[in-house]
Amino acid sequence: MKSIVLQSPAKLNLFLKVVNQRPDGYHNLITLFERIDLCDEIKFILTDNGQISISCQDKDVPCGPKNLIYKAAQLLQKDGKVKKGVKVILDKRIPVAAGLGGGSSNGATALLALNKLWNLRLKPEKLVEYGRQLGSDVPFFLYDCSWALGTSRGDDIKPLRLKTKLWHCLITPRLKVYSSQVFKALGLKAAKAPCNNISNNKIRPGSVATNLLTKKELDVNILLRALRKNDFLSAGSLLFNGLEPAIVKIYPQLAKVKENLKRFDSLGVSFSGSGPSVFCMTESRFQSEKIRKTLSRRYQQIFTVRTY
Ligand code: C5P
């Protein structure tokens, strides 16, 4: 095999609860990931010189060692004593630093592609281990699923057998938001010792609904139940992002974007990840397109997207 072309999709977080800050500074989360059809396209070309090179038409994308594709390739080369190299051509469509997991998805796609291109035969679990080293959102993109529950740093993935397909109108205001800044703005204090239902920085399975989430409306399982029943009206009202107060604290203008989207007839509106992307959930493609068309003069980065 000489080259591979892969789609690298974005995600939305339909639910994101921050449980607490961990002794290592990260935060324990409970999040519902949805893979969406807004995708970058990446071409990986095998080379013999051991070098990693990335080119991208979007000047916001770092093409050197900061890029998660680069980091993924470096990690695999170092660990597997790989002598081969790769030339990567990244066609960027997912906005950068937008809460859509674009960089993380690219990193995961690189792990999957290079495992084949360099003939490494790494098992899925090993790839997930590498994914964790690259970033909290990377493991989700290594699973071949549209829906998953993420716990721990968001990197403990439970793929969900959910057939639901949703339509959204998604706005990404032209602001770069850094997750570290948003999590810090939450102002949570690090727990000295792991608490009851969290050990080794992991939330014990089964404890998600009952122990950690006391408020009924903040239970991800209620949202999941609604999605399973195709009760979109309830599901829309259960969208939740616990990072919202921190996002709005740093960028108060984003509250206005959310309000603008709320004025339209949709099932619910929420931020994705650490922002600035805001999305609504609609009953149909028609409805999402209608919102997109109306708001496209005000926002340049506005998309109609669907579960992928
Ligand atoms: O894991 P990742 O590199 O994507 O995280 C970026 C930053 O976001 C971390 O350095 C940390 O400050 C914050 N973060 C966090 N808790 C998480 C995920 C990210 O505090 N679960």
pLDDT digits (tens, 9 = 90+) for 81-118: 999 999 999 999 999 999 999 999 999 999 999 999 99
- For the record, the structure tokens of 66 come out as 């900061």
- Report the alpha-carbon distance of residue 129 to residue 45 in Å, rounded: 24
Q: Residues with Cβ < 8 Å from 47, sequence gap 6 or more?
A: 84, 85, 86, 87
Whether 116 is catalytic is: no
Instruction: Summarize pLDDT for 10-41 with one digit per residue, the tens.
Output: 999 999 999 999 999 999 999 999 999 999 99
Instruction: Summarize pLDDT for 189-213 with one digit per residue, the tens.
Output: 876 655 444 444 444 444 443 344 4
308 ligand 1 Cβ < 6 A: no
**Strand pairing category for 202-203 and 302-306:** unpaired
- In whole angstroms, how far apart are CA 203 and each of 19, 20, 22, 154, 235? 10, 11, 11, 11, 24
H/E stretch holding 110:
helix 102-117
> Choosing from 40, 92, 137, 258, which is the catalytic residue?
137
Q: Is the pTM of this model over 0.75?
A: yes
27 ligand 1 Cβ < 6 A: yes
Q: Residues with Cβ < 8 Å from 43, sequence gap 6 or more?
A: 3, 4, 5, 88, 89, 91
Ligand 1 mutation target, pool 26, 189, 272, most atoms within 8 A of CB:
26
201 ligand 1 Cβ < 6 A: no
186 ligand 1 Cβ < 6 A: no
Closest CA to 105 of 165, 40, 153: 40
20 ligand 1 Cβ < 6 A: no
Closest CA to 282 of 239, 229, 218, 220: 239
> Choosing from 11, 17, 84, 258, which is the catalytic residue?
11
